[in-house]
Structure 1
Amino acid sequence: MPADPRHRKRALRVELRELRRQRTARDQDAATLAITDHLRSLATGVGAKSVAAYLPSTDEPNIRPFIDWAIAAGVTVLMPVSRDDGLLDWAVTDGLHEQEGAHGMPEPVGELLGPIAINDVDLILVPASAVDRTGMRMGWGMGYFDRTLGSMERCPPVYAVIFDNELLDSVPSEVHDKRVDGVVTPSAIVTF
């Protein structure tokens, strides 16, 4: 494997993306049910009245049923909206209205609240390509969540949502990469 962390990340992302594409619909459905149960338990356990989450792409663990549950339970759910300057704006989602945003990712339709809106949430859920057993998160290479987490004054618990095979012994990292407090997988909630 190449020595440069950027090259090692790129190679690992390709491998993990291919493994995600090979998942069967049955495996994906089972993972969705289990992840939804774990996310509900996590949100309830921290007493979350507001959550920052994201709209998953088709290959990512499906957290949409959790988002629907949270909205129905009266939890305010903020979703990121990508900006050209590399920062994230946030909008409250109603779970119904979305559009394709920058980089082809789904984003909520709604009033933009600005980058600091995330400072008031009780729980943050982030996507990841992999996380290691120390909590080091490897994203998909755009750096949006690393910049967001790195700029927060007071950060609530941050959990990445991944598949079981994406919790690794180690992941390549660079100085700007941020750790998470835990992961939610189909098998468990793991807190570091």
Structure 2
Amino acid sequence: MRGLADVGSTQKAANGDREAWHRSVTPPRTHTLITRPADFEMTLHDIDSKAVWRRRVLQARRQQSGDERYRANQCIADHMRNLVQPERFVAAYVPMDSEPGSMSMLDVLKDNGAQVLLPFTSANRPLSWAVYSGADDLVPAAFGLREPTGPDLGPDGLSLVDAIIIPALAVDRRGVRLGRGAGYYDRSLAMVRGDIPLIAVVNDDELVSRLPDEPHDVRMTHVLTPTGGLQLLDPALFVAMRS
């Protein structure tokens, strides 16, 4: 594993390659297909509260069978194989409860040579970050989370990364992300450079047309789903619709 002294040279190289990265991970818009059960259809016409959205999504996740969840998580892990080039830094998360994703997702990134940063929480502060070295080095934490035990890189750890993989309850095509409401990611992502891909991971039926939004919400640039893989979103559409 490289030391942090190598980060400066890595970041310079990354800056030169970032445009190529965007081209390589952005599929045609025609690939952004979603399917969802009729009883899960949600729009602003009948749901205008983030709290209601959260209850509905969490209820639907609880109704997934173990086999459905396993297959979806295997697909997500497979999509991670070509997401980040070896020796790049990527921020990710440890899935909890029914969140899409698994430890396999993290191990695929790590085994392919990426330096994976995972978050840990401090009350009312942006997330801090540490390098993921394996599942055995994770420890139980508040809210049912598991957190890394490596050296604390602080909130500025995100300055090292070439992409950020983010948990979400749902995301819409404008890039609006529905989180759990604690605000940790909004505080952290507000500090990130504008050219960093922000990739929300959700189930296929959690990519929707439109979600409730607030001014402080940070827009996602991409979404990753089990069936659709990596898909481009359109945060510019959000700005246009509000202007």
State whether TM-score is above 0.5.
yes
1:138 CA drift (Å): 1.1
Letter aligned with residue 170 of structure 1? R
- Tell me if the contact between 2:175 and 2:219 (Cα under 8 Å) persists in the aligned partners: yes
- Corresponding residue for residue 83 of structure 1: 122
- Tell me if the contact between 1:119 and 1:155 (Cα under 8 Å) persists in the aligned partners: no
Deviations 1:121-159 (A, max 9, x none): 111000001100111111110111111111224551110
Write the distance in 2 (CA, Å) between the matches of 1:63 and 1:158: 19
1:13 CA drift (Å): 0.2
Question: Among 37, 41, 50, which residue is 1:9 paired with?
Answer: 50
Write the distance in 2 (CA, Å) between the matches of 1:42 and 1:85: 31
Letter aligned with residue 51 of structure 1? V
Write the distance in 2 (CA, Å) between the matches of 1:41 and 1:181: 17
Write the distance in 2 (CA, Å) between the matches of 1:131 and 1:148: 18
Deviations 1:160-179 (A, max 9, x none): 00001100111111111111
Letter aligned with residue 66 of structure 1? M
Gaps of 5+ in 2: 1-41, 234-243
Question: Among 172, 177, 198, which residue is 1:137 paired with?
Answer: 177
What is the total number of aligned residue pairs between the two structures? 186
Question: Among 98, 108, 112, which residue is 1:73 paired with?
Answer: 112
1:106 CA drift (Å): 1.5
Question: Among 67, 87, 94, which residue is 1:55 paired with?
Answer: 94
SS across alignment from 1:43: coil
- Please tell me the root mean square deviation across aligned C-alpha atoms, in Å: 1.8
- Tell me if the contact between 2:199 and 2:221 (Cα under 8 Å) persists in the aligned partners: yes
SS across alignment from 1:151: coil
Deviations 1:35-62 (A, max 9, x none): 1111223224xx6711100000020012
SS across alignment from 1:178: coil
Residue 171 (1) aligns with residue 191 (2): no
SS across alignment from 2:151: coil
Write the distance in 1 (CA, Å) between the matches of 2:174 and 2:102: 23
- Tell me if the contact between 2:90 and 2:165 (Cα under 8 Å) persists in the aligned partners: yes
Matches within 5 A, 1:143-154: 143-154=183-194
Write the distance in 2 (CA, Å) between the matches of 1:90 and 1:155: 20
> Which has the larger Rg?
2
Write the distance in 1 (CA, Å) between the matches of 2:102 and 2:149: 18
SS across alignment from 1:112: coil
Question: Among 161, 166, 169, which residue is 1:126 paired with?
Answer: 166
Structure with bigger strand share is 1
Gaps of 5+ in 1: none
Write the distance in 1 (CA, Å) between the matches of 2:78 and 2:108: 10
Letter aligned with residue 64 of structure 1? M
- Tell me if the contact between 1:21 and 1:59 (Cα under 8 Å) persists in the aligned partners: yes
Alignment TM-score, normalising by the size of structure 2: 0.72
- Tell me if the contact between 1:86 and 1:143 (Cα under 8 Å) persists in the aligned partners: no
Letter aligned with residue 182 of structure 2? M
